[in-house]
Amino acid sequence: MAVKKTHAAALCAVLLASGCSFAEDVLFPASGTVASSQGVTAEAMADAPPAMGTGNYEPVGVTAGSPTGTFVGGKVMALRADLQALQATLARQNQALQQIRNETVQDSQRYHGTVAAINARLQVGTTPGNPVLTQQWNAAQGELDRITDDVLKMNRLTNDVTASSTMAGFLLDSVRSARSLSGAVDEDHRQLRILEDETNRTVVMVERLLSELTSDSIRQQQYVASEKQNLNTLALGIKNGALFAGGLTSRVNASYETAAPARAMAAGEAPLVTIRFDKPNVNYEPALYAAIKSALDRRPSATFDVVAVSPVGNTPGTQALAATNAKRNADSVLRSLTNMNLPASRVRTSSTTSPAVSGGEVQVFVR
């Protein structure tokens, strides 16, 4: 209990210094647990690149055959040449797949090395807007762009392999149809059986290649989209000189991706966070992140209301000006939550006036 209150007191000091406050039940959750620094480290490093497929799809080869001098024999030779051409195409596509995989792995390793260096520096603490970290962030952005290019290559290759799959299916149908042609000798049918078997194995191989390539492409697309959000959170951490580990996406319950139905605020309901914009450049983001993170840890299905609260003015003009400033500050808080990877469907905005406030402030309520 002593440890819990010590950590809570330290966090209160940060909140007061930044012009923020939040409800006591968030500082002292029912579980009585306090996240350790090791937990933050593990969370920051948890987003590893997705595993790539390992299949190597070399064509099975085509058995040579002797001309029989019949019309069907000529058809067999033409179909055999088509299968050889298809397998040559598949060999090139398989080689392209292996190259793209190697490039993607190398690009991912460079990207994660850069991100790990930034996270390590932020965890021990650094100056807000550290130019060294900003330079590293720009490098990470470039490395993620290269991974995006790798995904585009995968998509183009997927289209090419899809065309090969269609060709393989058509070729198999043609080989089977050739067996019903009249004027064949036994040798023609023997060669057709061999050709059908090899074509069928080629169809199976190209389908496996296409399936694995499609899975790789989908996983990499999802990974890039996730890392773009993580880079936004990392930029927020660099701006504040503190680690915003993992963003808020991982704490959101996937079963509640749409916002909860609106409900009126209860009279006297305490906000989760109150941000008072009583001076320029209020550093509210670390305290806001801590409060939202704690709320989602306790209730992953939570949604939030961001309310711009302005004082009651002496004249309509001063009241309108105060309301405009409060709304602008609420928009800034909303952008911060977006950069922390909190889904937009979890946040609603509104505005109100209150005689209880002397200056503009933003209140965040948890639902």
- For residues 299-312, one letter each, b for 16 or more C-beta atoms within 10 angstroms of the residue's C-beta and e for the rest, the string is eeebbbbbbbbbbe
In a domain, 29, yes or no: yes
In a domain, 118, yes or no: yes
217 in the same domain as 86 = yes
135 in the same domain as 31 = no
204 in the same domain as 110 = yes
Provide the number of structural domains found in the chain.
2
265 in the same domain as 178 = no
218 in the same domain as 81 = yes
pTM: 0.62
**Lowest mean pLDDT segment, chosen from 31-45, 245-259, 285-299, 332-346:** 31-45
* Residue 151: count of CB within 10 angstroms of its CB: 20
196 in the same domain as 92 = yes
d(CA 322, CA 363): 15
**Lowest mean pLDDT segment, chosen from 19-28, 155-164, 338-347:** 19-28
Higher pLDDT, 86 or 244: 86
In a domain, 139, yes or no: yes
Tens digit of each residue's pLDDT (9 = 90 or more) over 211-256: 889 889 888 988 898 888 889 888 888 988 888 765 565 554 443 3
203 in the same domain as 293 = no
What value does the mean pLDDT take over residues 80-97? 92
In a domain, 65, yes or no: no
Question: How far is C-alpha 10 from the chain's CA centre?
Answer: 33
Where does the pLDDT of residue 75 fall: very low under 50, low under 70, confident under 90, or very high at 90 and above? confident
For residue 120, the domain's CATH number is 1.20.58
214 in the same domain as 84 = yes
218 in the same domain as 254 = no
Higher pLDDT, 7 or 278: 278
pLDDT above 70 coverage of the chain, percent = 80
Rounded to the nearest integer, the mean pLDDT of the chain is 79
In a domain, 333, yes or no: yes
Side chain identity at 234, as an amino acid letter? L
In a domain, 63, yes or no: no
d(CA 81, CA 198): 13
Q: Please tell me the predicted confidence (pLDDT) of residue 247.
A: 56
d(CA 129, CA 134): 7
- The CA-CA-CA angle for residues 141, 143, 146, to 5°, reads 115
Range of the domain at 142: 71-240
d(CA 353, CA 302): 25
87 in the same domain as 142 = yes
In a domain, 117, yes or no: yes
* pLDDT of 42 over the 70 cut: no
In a domain, 128, yes or no: yes
Q: Please tell me the predicted confidence (pLDDT) of residue 4.
A: 41
